[in-house]
Structure 1
């Protein structure tokens, strides 16, 4: 398998395309609502337009706030992000009549890349239940060694096509487009955060588990050799 790499320009362009795709629909609805306000004298239609503008503005704001943390440089002045902020943007982005989001996590600051990873895994969990359902996010452990378990339960649940290879950085096509950039980016963030991501499915439930990457066997052996050397080679 060939690992795909993207240069900085291609990666930024594809992520920008992804964000634009997410916000263009509510922004377009706002424009439509404003046009109705300009052209209609009917009180009923004007009320409809105002309601459309309100809902679409909230949706656009929620999507931009989510993208700011999940894909952007939010909190760039520091190395940590509050998990409460991550919960708020996830609920704003995905909490609706179709999908229910539950969130269990400590009130704590976690390393930025680990928070970005869990938000990107929420995006993938949503795609695992195309008809909607319940997504449960559980975060345990300390910031330096957390465990994320996301379960997505709903009708027609499935591990999203190609997502495992995209996260591994080895897409079957050998290329990455704007449609595939989000799981590919999630894999980049997982490696930067030194986390392994695994998928499983049972019945109508997909489970995504992310935990600290295991140290290569050679690294463990090197540590043991170093300890033996410090103890005079007696292994005591």
Structure 2
């Protein structure tokens, strides 16, 4: 299937729509809380409204800070971003205790787009555990060979339908809307940094991996080599077995012939 190429304006519009969708709920809650503060005189209600405003403002700020790194050109003056900053905004995003974050990635400077990829993979991982759970984030290797592995575990964990096609840039229905733009954008970022993303369900949970294309090809080559070696060994073993069976049959024929002619059997050597 042909990879879809969105126009720059369409991509920007869809990403803006996604960001607005993420922040509209806490911003709306802030407005509601302020209205209560303006109209209510009851101290208990005012305390409740003030608490709502504080929590919603914190949530909106966390979402915007995360989106700034994940989608925007944060730190565009430099080529690298501290993964510690990525951890901070991710913890802020999942600070409601619904998802427990286990950030195992070392604190290093990484290329900006690789950090974007990690953050977007975290969003995809969160979508695989809609009822909450745990998410562990690992970065293995260094430099261009660095690979990302995220494990999401929780009740009713599942791989979202169509996610692989969106990551590959080939959505099933041939178009992308605001709901699907995030995984589609993740695939764009992955290809930009020369990595391939895989999402699969395993007994331990949902595994999301991003590996350099060269490393992925090497793994595929090793698998092919292993298959070829296994086939060769099977063939060799089969040939040896056939040869042994043939030799045994020849020996049996010779023994039958000797027995029929009363020749001594001691002259036959099974070796």
TM-score (normalizing by structure 2):
0.78
Residue 231 of structure 1 is matched in structure 2 by none
Measured on the aligned residues, the alpha-carbon RMSD in Å equals 1.3
Q: Which runs of 5+ in 1 are unaligned?
A: 218-236
Distance 1:96 1:57 in 2: 13
By percentage of residues, which structure has more helix? 2
Q: CA deviation at 1:4?
A: 0.9
- Write the mapping of 1:90-105 to structure 2, written as runs, cut at 5 A: 90-105=90-105
Residue 177 of structure 1 is matched in structure 2 by 177
Residue 9 of structure 1 is matched in structure 2 by 9
Partner secondary structure for residue 211 of structure 1: strand
1:65-96 CA deviation, whole Å, 9 max, x = no partner?
A: 00000000000000100000000001100132
Q: CA deviation at 1:139?
A: 1.0
Distance 1:204 1:27 in 2: 37
Distance 1:142 1:203 in 2: 28
1:177-210 CA deviation, whole Å, 9 max, x = no partner?
A: 0000000000000000111111221236100011
Residue 61 of structure 2 is matched in structure 1 by 61
Contact 2:30-2:56 at 8 Å conserved across structures: yes
Residue 36 of structure 2 is matched in structure 1 by 36
Partner secondary structure for residue 144 of structure 1: helix
Ranked by relative contact order (alpha carbons within 8 Å, sequence separation 6 or more), the top structure is 1
Distance 1:4 1:73 in 2: 23
Residue 250 of structure 2 is matched in structure 1 by none
Q: CA deviation at 1:215?
A: 7.6
Residue 267 of structure 2 is matched in structure 1 by none
Distance 2:46 2:90 in 1: 31
Q: CA deviation at 1:141?
A: 1.6
Greater CA deviation, 101-110 or 61-70? 101-110
1:41-84 CA deviation, whole Å, 9 max, x = no partner?
A: 00000000100000000000000000000000000000100000
Residue 198 of structure 2 is matched in structure 1 by 198
Partner secondary structure for residue 214 of structure 2: coil
Partner secondary structure for residue 34 of structure 1: helix
1:160 has 2:160 as partner: yes
Residue 221 of structure 2 is matched in structure 1 by none
TM-score (normalizing by structure 1):
0.89
Distance 1:216 1:118 in 2: 18
Residue 224 of structure 1 is matched in structure 2 by none
Q: Structure 1 pair 159/132, CA: closer, same or farther in 2 (3 Å)? A: same
